[in-house]
Amino acid sequence: MGEPYASGVEEVRDDCRKESTRRVGAIKDSKKLTTCKDHFALPFIDQVLEKLAGKSHYCFLDGFSSYMQIHIALEDQHKETFTYPFGTFAYTRMPFRLCNAPGTFQHCMTSIFLDLLQDCMEVFMDDFTVYVDSFEACLSNLSKVLKRCIDTNLVLNFEKCHFMVTEGIVLGHLVSNRGIEVDKSKIDIITSLPSTTSVPEVCSFLGHAAFYRRFIKNFSKFTLPLSKLL
């Protein structure tokens, strides 16, 4: 019997990553699915940064293949079927392209670390940050977080984790005991952008610049001439 939700697959090259990789993606027709949207909100970036700023020690942890750690309910796996020359298969773990994937994952991480949030750690998707005002306390809080990961079978990407450091990049900003600062690598990207020659390019530039508007007094005044071009 044919599977009504089955779709084909296409191999794509991911040139945006540092490492050269190829990924396989299934193309779905959203008209075949009636999905109840999960409106679980992501944390406000500014609030997360304010909570992390001014601490003496940090541990930055990164989830491994984050979405793929979430199981799909057996009764729903048929909705994620795809065809391949060797047969028809279905995802048993949550892929990246689902409309509810971000909310589902954030909801799951919030549930796992609920009693630790805003006390000794912050969670934004698969970025977990442990923060504290002393080395000993940071080590103690890190132990709590790692134990919680073990208890819930949450896997971390060791290569992207940084332990017991005094500063680090979080959500595109540098946090340390000095407070919140810009990520210089992102500034280099903005300053190296070519001169805008079209409306889409103006929109792109304003989007890049607005990311750091909190650091620029009278930002709206400076960008008004460009905004009038839209």
Q: Are residues 64 and 159 in the same domain?
A: yes
Q: Are residues 45 and 143 in the same domain?
A: yes
| R_g of the chain, CA atoms, integer Å | 21
pLDDT tens for 58-99 read 999 999 988 999 999 999 888 888 887 888 888 999 988 888
Q: Are residues 111 and 213 in the same domain?
A: no
228, burial (CB in 10 Å: exposed 0-12, middle 13-18, buried 19+): exposed
Average pLDDT in the chain:
87
Q: Are residues 144 and 222 in the same domain?
A: no
DSSP 3-state of 38 = coil
For the chain, the straight-line distance linking the first and the last C-alpha, in angstroms and rounded, comes to: 52
CA distances from 86 to 2, 9, 78, 89 (A): 15, 12, 17, 9
Q: Give dist(CA 8, CA 25) in Å, integer.
A: 9
Is pLDDT above 50 for 26?
A: yes
Q: Which domain holds residue 90?
A: 9-32+40-192
Residue 1 lies in a domain: no
Q: How confident is the model at residue 210 (pLDDT cuts 50, 70, 90)?
A: very high
Q: Between these two residues, 106 and 21, which has the higher pLDDT value? A: 106
Residue 2 lies in a domain: no
Is pLDDT above 80 for 176?
A: yes
Residue at 161: amino acid letter: C
CA triple 210-100-4, angle to 5 deg:
135
List the CATH number of the domain containing 79: 3.30.70.270
Specify whether the CB–CB gap between 132 and 164 falls below 8 A: no
209: phi then psi, degrees, rounded to nearest 5: -65, -40
Residue 74 lies in a domain: yes
Q: What is the pTM of this model?
A: 0.78
* pLDDT cut 90: percent of the chain above it: 64
Residues 221, 222, 228, 230, CA torsion sign: negative
Q: Are residues 92 and 205 in the same domain?
A: no
pLDDT tens for 128-142 read 999 999 999 999 999
Expressed in percent and rounded to 5, the helix, strand and coil fractions of the chain are 35, 25, 35
Is pLDDT above 80 for 211?
A: yes
Q: Which two tokens stand for residue 189?
A: 């990207």
